[in-house]
Amino acid sequence: MEIFKNIERVMVVTPHPDDAELGCGGTVAKLTNDGKEVIYVVATSGDRGGRDTDMSQEYLNDKRREEQEEAASILGVKHIVHLGFSDGNLEDDHPFRSALVYNIRIYKPNILFTTDPFRKSFYIHRDHRIAGLVSLDAVFPYARDRLHYPEHIEQGLAGHNVEEIYFWGSEEPDIFIDISDTVEQKANAVMAHRSQVQDWVDRAGGREKFIEKMKEVQPDDFLKEGFRCYGMKKMMEVYEEL
Ligand SMILES: [Zn+2]
């Protein structure tokens, strides 16, 4: 992919297990197929996800972790960090921000994908809004400027500059990635989240019909993924010129 030609490592911050597959699964598969290293950071365990009354929080906690690992492996993702925050309780606070900064400094991604926190025209899950906002703050200035979280210096970590953030689920995408070559991988990864989608798959009448349904729901988006890019690199250049 020309756009990500010079990228080596990519971090994906997902509020819950399954959001990343839906938001950027096709692009992640393209990146790993191109030999790029992708690191997943799963913010919450998703232990309150779903309407099925038979599933307890304990069951969902374990099940969704397994499903996330399977989905990530379908997309060629080798590193998964489970932050383990409780579903619905993500906060714009020190524990979450410092965990993101720590992992950015450990893995040193060139770019980061997460969910757009700035939607205005329709509802957004609170965990999604907070995951997007805190990721943006973690990238700049916290991860870059080494004196934020000085305990990391004692752990031998340096500041790290993530060059760009790509938001999925944006109302104003400015970059579109053609995923026609990885859409099957994406569909399989989405369907690995059985606790969340199996009843839809069954109701649709099986895998093929479910994919047809997804195409109907997102007729323009099914073979491409749209992102809004925050160009940190460009912003830093402007700062340095001042
Ligand atoms: Zn979610």
Q: Cα of 29 to ligand 1 centre, how many Å?
A: 20
Say if domain 7-241 classifies as CATH 3.10.150.10: no
Tokens of residue 202, six digits: 């069954």
List, for residues 8-35, the tens digit of each pLDDT value.
999 999 999 999 999 999 999 999 999 9
Ligand 1 centroid – CA 12 distance (Å):
13
Tokens of 73: 């492996």
What is the predicted pLDDT for the residue at 51?
65
- Which of these, 112, 117, 113, lies nearest to 129 by C-alpha position? 117
How close is the Cα of 60 to the center of ligand 1, in Å? 14
CA distances from 178 to 66, 164, 238 (A): 29, 19, 31
Task: Return the half-sphere exposure (C-beta side, CA atoms, 13 A cut-off) of residue 29.
Answer: 25
Domain extent listing, the chain: 7-241
Query: pLDDT, tens digit, for every residue of 122-152?
Result: 889 999 999 999 999 999 999 999 999 999 9
For the chain, percent of residues with pLDDT exceeding 90: 71
CB neighbour class for 107 (10 Å; exposed up to 12, middle 13-18, buried from 19) = middle
Report CA(46)–ligand 1 centroid distance (Å): 8
Cα(154) to centroid of ligand 1, in Å? 34
Return the pLDDT at 57.
85
Q: Which residues, chain by chain, have CB under 5 Å from ion ligand 1? A: 15-16, 19
Nearest to 187, CA basis, from 156, 213, 167? 213
Distance 37 CA to ligand 1 centre (A): 23
Q: Distance between CA atoms of 91 and 59, rounded to whole angstroms?
A: 23
- Decide the pairing of beta strands 164-168 and 111-115: parallel
Measure the CA–CA gap between 131 and 117, rounded to whole angstroms. 8
| CA 15–ligand 1 middle distance (angstroms) | 5
Q: From the CA of 238, how far away is ligand 1's center (Å)? A: 34
Separation of CA 124 and ligand 1 centre (Å):
9
Total number of residues shown for the chain:
242
pLDDT at 233 over 80: no
pLDDT above 90 (res 189): yes
Alpha carbon of 127 to ligand 1 centroid (Å): 7
The Å distance, Cα 94 to ligand 1 centre, comes to: 21
What are the Cα distances from residue 117, in Å, to 21, 125, 127?
A: 17, 9, 9
